[in-house]
Amino acid sequence: MPQPPAAPLLTALHEGRDRADALTVDGRSCSYAELLGAAGAVARRAAGTKAFAVEATASLETVAAVVGGLLAGVPVVPLAPDAGPAEREHVLRDSGAELLPVDFAERADFTAAPGEGAALVLYTSGTTGPPKGVLVSRAAIAADLDALAAAWEWTADDTLVHGLPLFHVHGLVLGVLGALRTGSRLVHTGRPAPRAYAAAGGTLYFGVPTVWHRVVRDEAAARALSGARLLVSGSAPLPAPVFRDLLALTGQAPVERYGMTETLITVSARAAGERRPGAVGTPLPGVRTRIAESADGIGELQLTGPTLFDGYLGRPEATAASYTADGWFRTGDIAAVDDDGTHRIVGRASTDLIKSGGYRIGAGEVENALLDHPAVREAAVVGAPHTDLGQQIVAYVVADGVTAAELTDFVAARLSVHKRPRTVRFLSELPRNAMGKPQKKLLPPV
């Protein structure tokens, strides 16, 4: 069997506890020993390369590639399977990574390399320019996974279930490397379909809001999750109605958490703590947060701690610009902190902080109010230029059987009158990315 890494990150792989179905990905299962053998073959092929890329499909091959990179001490660059030619070419050129094929049936022993550089190079979505390569270290991953294991009481006795993409932090770092560090059994469902989640029999489930919205619409699938220990939601704000429906159908109030590619997960509700809609909990151990330029109780969330990235690949100026003069990372997200230290994420500074008539308004608060209307299925709120107010609140909704005026009055009755949408546009669906996040920059103009 291959030797464990010199500074082991995936501790469960060499602790001696193994089973034939330690990992199941899209219906295929393997043991830790089989995974290490396949990863050893990848490591032999990758050793000495600057970096290597892998088609990050929902497969055992992807898992073997990432583990192989850790063994070889070579950064792994996960490629989104649906990336277009231009994005794919940019990532490979920017990272200098070779695209290596992976054969899970191939086996080899490999003595692990120290691996002092990045473990992963994860590319941002590129909403403000070409995607940037985020350098994520082993130390940051280890610190984050240990903090989350403590926060969520995540142990080797758990069975983790999810169907999230393996080219993002949520699906890959938390959803695969987390299982390989804690020793929990992993069932990746291939796709995050409600019936697949229900059939998996897990104790711990990961999902994004889109997944949980689909789960609560399938009442039988949702009730099947009532035996789970913990439901975790992340990657985008969970609408309050979905939170309440999950609680009603499963008996579980979901744990919400907050993070970014550059920071990993930094704030989370706790398994043993209070969970309330719209709240992402408190900072993880070692993480410090602050609200900058706070006004009306909200401002940019800045933070520091052991889970932060090592910079953007080849972009020192962009790396420097992402930090304040005194060394705090600028998240670009707008947040508020309650008296008990609980954090609430209002949205992105660039799109979700609306300054209207002298008020600072968080788009997320208005979106949740709209989603409370029974006719509204989806909602996205932005600020648009207005000659008198500076910005006016514009709502894009997917809804049936309701008028714009009714929705405006509905929001005004639940929030302050100045937070009501001035314009409501009806769409058949909201533009979203692979993680289910609404892409507000792709909304049609007002």
Calculate mean pLDDT across residues 39-65. Answer: 95
Is the separation of the CB atoms in 307 and 263 below 8 Å?
yes
Calculate mean pLDDT across residues 17-46. Answer: 96
Query: How sure is the predictor about 347, in pLDDT bands with cuts at 50, 70 and 90?
Result: confident
| Domains in the chain: boundaries | 11-260, 353-442
For the chain, give the percent of residues with pLDDT over 90: 70
User: Which amino acid is present at 367?
Assistant: E
The DSSP annotation for 348-386 comes to ETTTTEEEETTEEEEHHHHHHHHHTSTTEEEEEEEEEEE
pLDDT, residue 4, reads 41
Calculate mean pLDDT across residues 138-143. Answer: 96
Work out the burial of residue 377: count CB atoms within 10 Å of its CB; fewer than 13 is exposed, 13-18 middle, 19 or more buried: middle
Instruction: Say what angle helices 363-371 and 404-414 make with each other, to 10 degrees.
Output: 110
Query: How sure is the predictor about 271, in pLDDT bands with cuts at 50, 70 and 90?
Result: very high
Rounded Cα distance between 397 and 389, Å, is: 22
Calculate mean pLDDT across residues 245-271. Answer: 97
Q: Which CATH architecture is the domain 353-442 placed in?
A: 2-Layer Sandwich (3.30)
pLDDT, residue 149, reads 98
DSSP 232: E
Calculate mean pLDDT across residues 358-362. Answer: 73
Calculate mean pLDDT across residues 250-277. Answer: 96
pLDDT, residue 435, reads 65
Say if residue 352's pLDDT is above 50: yes
Say if residue 3's pLDDT is above 50: no
pLDDT, residue 391, reads 86
Query: How sure is the predictor about 48, in pLDDT bands with cuts at 50, 70 and 90?
Result: confident
Query: How sure is the predictor about 230, in pLDDT bands with cuts at 50, 70 and 90?
Result: very high
pLDDT, residue 445, reads 83
Rounded Cα distance between 142 and 178, Å, is: 9
pLDDT, residue 412, reads 87
Calculate mean pLDDT across residues 426-446. Answer: 84
Calculate mean pLDDT across residues 295-307. Answer: 87
CA 65, 68, 73, 74 dihedral sign is negative
Calculate mean pLDDT across residues 362-383. Answer: 88
Say if residue 126's pLDDT is above 80: no
Say if residue 190's pLDDT is above 80: yes
Calculate mean pLDDT across residues 160-179. Answer: 96
Residue ranges of alpha helices (H) inside 312-362 are 316-321
Question: At a CB cut-off of 8 Å and minimum separation 6, what does 150 contact?
Answer: 285
Bridge partners (DSSP) of residue 268 are 257, 282
Work out the burial of residue 339: count CB atoms within 10 Å of its CB; fewer than 13 is exposed, 13-18 middle, 19 or more buried: exposed
Say if residue 5's pLDDT is above 60: no
Say if residue 169's pLDDT is above 90: yes
pLDDT, residue 146, reads 97
Query: How sure is the predictor about 36, in pLDDT bands with cuts at 50, 70 and 90?
Result: very high
**Residue with tokens 């490591």, as numbered in its chain:** 43
**Window from 20-34, 122-136, 178-192 with minimum mean pLDDT:** 122-136
CA distance between the termini of the chain: 61
Q: Do domains 11-260 and 353-442 have the same CATH topology?
A: no
The DSSP annotation for 258-303 comes to EEETTTEEEEE--TTS---TT--BEEPTT-EEEEEEEETTEEEEEE
pLDDT, residue 129, reads 64
Rounded Cα distance between 246 and 261, Å, is: 27
pLDDT, residue 102, reads 94
Say if residue 47's pLDDT is above 70: yes
Collapse the DSSP code of 49 into the 3-class scheme (helix H, G, I; strand E, B; otherwise coil) and give the result.
coil
pLDDT digits (tens, 9 = 90+) for 83-122: 878 888 999 999 999 999 899 999 999 888 776 789 999 9
For the chain, give the percent of residues with pLDDT over 70: 95
Topology of the domain comprising 11-260: Rossmann fold (3.40.50)
Rounded Cα distance between 279 and 289, Å, is: 15
Query: How sure is the predictor about 124, in pLDDT bands with cuts at 50, 70 and 90?
Result: confident
pLDDT, residue 358, reads 66
